[in-house]
Structure 1
């Protein structure tokens, strides 16, 4: 991997750059649509290419349950299996351990859990999750970590940090596929000393990039931005920084201002499937009665396929008629919106005008 910072904003920590890995060039800041099970819901790879998506996220935990990493390996890897020739990053499953807490039992050795698919009891270790990701063949893979809920007692968060660091070292020792790059994940809840301890130790281990996990779990925007501000000070300038699972536009811009390079979230597609579109002037909830005879597009400032060809009235009709096309068109618009937001953010950073861009964006959202 080659990562270069190409420009810094004049007034903030915002930066734009480029990740080069294999034959992929990924401009940063970058938003990565989530394809947990090997598919970004309701969208084809062609849709994703048309809205300038360079990289997507899949989840190794889910894919090892179904269809199984050996199936994917025999096909020739995840890119071939899902028909996507862009870049792929895989999450190791640490968040699933957190979100499926009732089905899991965590120890220093690993995680014992009950499959949510068929109830089978399984045991995952850092070594196992690293090997799975090596076999799947994504371009960027993640260390196995322990994510704690919010609120969380400091003693509990401290145990999770120690476990995350131990697991990170085990992942590094297991990682054999040098065509892939491995990111470490900073944990520590909202406790400054724990975040700094975790970041420092991970940097000493020498990962290819660094993610900040365990946020957007209920702590709120103020605490999240506070964590990002001081954690970023302990991460190397010449490595990409990835904020996991954060995806509302305002939160992403706040994080870019703190020097974050990479983002993923289900927000655009989940909102799209539920009839909510992000637009240049705020959210549009398409099922509202006011759009019954509205012959305007979702966003008159948008150049996506949905906005160039369909009205809010038609989109509302699709949702009321339970037509799958409605979910696709709304999700496609939202992914375009997020990718366009990233492009505009990169341009503003290159010009040294990110602070003004962010202020203007947030001002339009309240109209």
Structure 2
């Protein structure tokens, strides 16, 4: 039903197939009132909408019409129709006159594509006892609904009020059953009070325990200024009644906030409504006519923002968009900072390389996954007793640094020869960049303001101080001390002059360790290795063993791309399951023929694999049958039943 096409962080472009109808996610589902349609929604979205089954059920005329001709014809929509069960009315009025069994069977009877069980939408900040009692009912009803439905896909709503552990418990329990979509409910009161930080913890407590192979629907999040942040948390579907509700109050939605018609002198965007009318013309209209026009503006803006979010995922710049959007309101910025606390979880799903460079847009950028992952990868490199910290002379560091550098402060003491030291370039935002791997993504592919902010300097100083604890001796060049105010002037200063040259063979071994894991450099590049640089760019381009090409370096991101001979050598010298994706017997002949590896045929893989990693594909006997680029992370490979998991690079060769 659901497959991933592109990823960025927890955000993903997906194809959700519902009864042979395809929905591209993330997307917005406009709420359609079954009795009050003001205009044709199909000009905004032809793929999916949501309507309320309980409203239809309790209205005798609507109920008979829906049973007779189906919900699609009732609301004049041919795409996917999701129906809510009446939980909103339950939260608003306290009681409704329908049972869980009745509303599930009714949704099935009227031809709903995706139905919903009658969950209990527990409000925020109620007593824990109430939250637990109502959660038990929600879970029980969700499980019962599996027996009531026939062909209809089924939502199972995650509840638990504002208790993260209850949300997690609910998500874990519902994950055990064959539901199709997981809405996260009862967040509207928090949205209305701008308590976005609490929403982050609610959503992340749920997402961490829900199957990534099922779409996640954040109920009630219909304001476009939220979309980027909520998609970055792993949400795929959103429903919006906001376009109508805000229009009723003469308010215009935008990705940056909300405008009141009474305050507007100029129209806020270039949608058809804003181009055709002026604020004064709208103010002179009758309320009903004005409401229709503002509702359409709100939908134009909402779908435009959702397209912008999807494009950001394709570009690998989703987090930059999140940072921009979250600076439109202090509570959104607070929420974004809360989300960054989950970077360890997000890293499991974030691609290792992206089409877009890393942009530093403020102190929050220092807590992003790319920087967290960089420091994890540094630990994969061979460690020596001494670290030598060098200043940046421009990118790429290894090709711009002087051959000799003089003047160092000494911290600690090592008896090892100076030649047996590790060289690091000190620069923001990645702080400690091993000389030799500096052309790999994202170390070279980043843009930073020339005027360093205080948080940036403090972050870098902390990382350097950590090195003082890790190494017997650290030599810090005087320019590094001066540039970043390290305060080392009272330390012993040595006028020693150090040669900074690193041999190309050492560079490619460091690159392999950084990319594939500790020990990969020696496993892959042992023997009579020749490293060739491009005459035009000066970058390392080809790596041979004797006359056999082992690997090339991909120019945009500096990644090592293996040949068949390189893949064989890495496979022979790396123990199972390192760098491997294991396929079953059924898939083996197709993979050998050069076909891509589909997730449903994977039986095991290295847990460290991330999307866009270069991987080895083997059979159950650990025989190499292919190599290629991972589309999914290891966790998704083992969970998904649809979609490509590894793009095969070449047909099998003896």
Q: CA deviation at 1:263?
A: 0.7
SS at match of 2:157: strand
Match of 1:63 in 2: 56
SS at match of 2:29: strand
SS at match of 1:5: strand
Q: Structure 1 pair 185/281, CA: closer, same or farther in 2 (3 Å)?
A: closer
Q: Report Cα offsets for 1:265-289 as digits up to 9, x if no partner.
A: 321221122211123554321123x
SS at match of 1:238: coil
Distance 1:128 1:253 in 2: 37
Q: Structure 1 pair 184/281, CA: closer, same or farther in 2 (3 Å)?
A: closer
Distance 1:83 1:157 in 2: 38
1:205-354 alignment to 2 at 5 Å?
205-218=177-190, 220-279=195-254, 282-288=257-263, 291=264, 294=265, 296-299=266-269, 302=270, 304-318=271-285, 322-354=286-318
Q: CA deviation at 1:337?
A: 0.5
Match of 1:26 in 2: 23
Match of 1:119 in 2: none
Q: CA deviation at 1:338?
A: 0.5
- 8 Å CA contact retained: 2:225, 2:254: no
Distance 1:281 1:203 in 2: 35
Distance 2:18 2:163 in 1: 34
- 8 Å CA contact retained: 1:95, 1:146: no
- 8 Å CA contact retained: 2:248, 2:291: yes
Q: Structure 1 pair 52/163, CA: closer, same or farther in 2 (3 Å)?
A: closer
Q: CA deviation at 1:85?
A: 1.6
SS at match of 1:32: strand
Match of 1:159 in 2: 133
Distance 1:276 1:226 in 2: 29
Asked if 1:84 corresponds to 2:83, the answer is no
Match of 1:110 in 2: none
Distance 2:66 2:46 in 1: 23
Q: CA deviation at 1:254?
A: 2.1
SS at match of 1:185: coil
> Which structure is larger by alpha-carbon Rg, 1 or 2?
2
Distance 1:184 1:280 in 2: 30
Gaps of 5+ in 1: 105-112, 114-121
Asked if 1:35 corresponds to 2:32, the answer is yes
Q: CA deviation at 1:203?
A: 1.1
SS at match of 1:326: helix
Distance 2:34 2:74 in 1: 11
Distance 1:94 1:16 in 2: 29
- 8 Å CA contact retained: 2:53, 2:86: yes
- 8 Å CA contact retained: 1:38, 1:58: no
Asked if 1:174 corresponds to 2:148, the answer is yes
Structure that is richer in helix per residue:
1
- 8 Å CA contact retained: 2:32, 2:49: yes
Match of 1:108 in 2: none
SS at match of 1:247: coil
Distance 1:201 1:149 in 2: 20
SS at match of 1:234: coil
SS at match of 1:52: coil
Q: Structure 1 pair 350/160, CA: closer, same or farther in 2 (3 Å)?
A: same
Asked if 1:72 corresponds to 2:66, the answer is yes
Gaps of 5+ in 2: 331-654
TM-score normalized with structure 2 length: 0.48
Q: CA deviation at 1:157?
A: 0.6
- 8 Å CA contact retained: 1:39, 1:82: no
Q: CA deviation at 1:181?
A: 0.9
Match of 1:118 in 2: none
Q: CA deviation at 1:235?
A: 0.7
Match of 1:117 in 2: none
Match of 2:123 in 1: 149
SS at match of 1:297: coil
Distance 1:198 1:280 in 2: 32
Match of 1:3 in 2: 2
SS at match of 2:118: coil
- 8 Å CA contact retained: 1:90, 1:133: yes
Alignment length (residue pairs) = 326
Q: Structure 1 pair 53/278, CA: closer, same or farther in 2 (3 Å)?
A: farther
Distance 1:167 1:356 in 2: 40
- 8 Å CA contact retained: 1:247, 1:266: yes
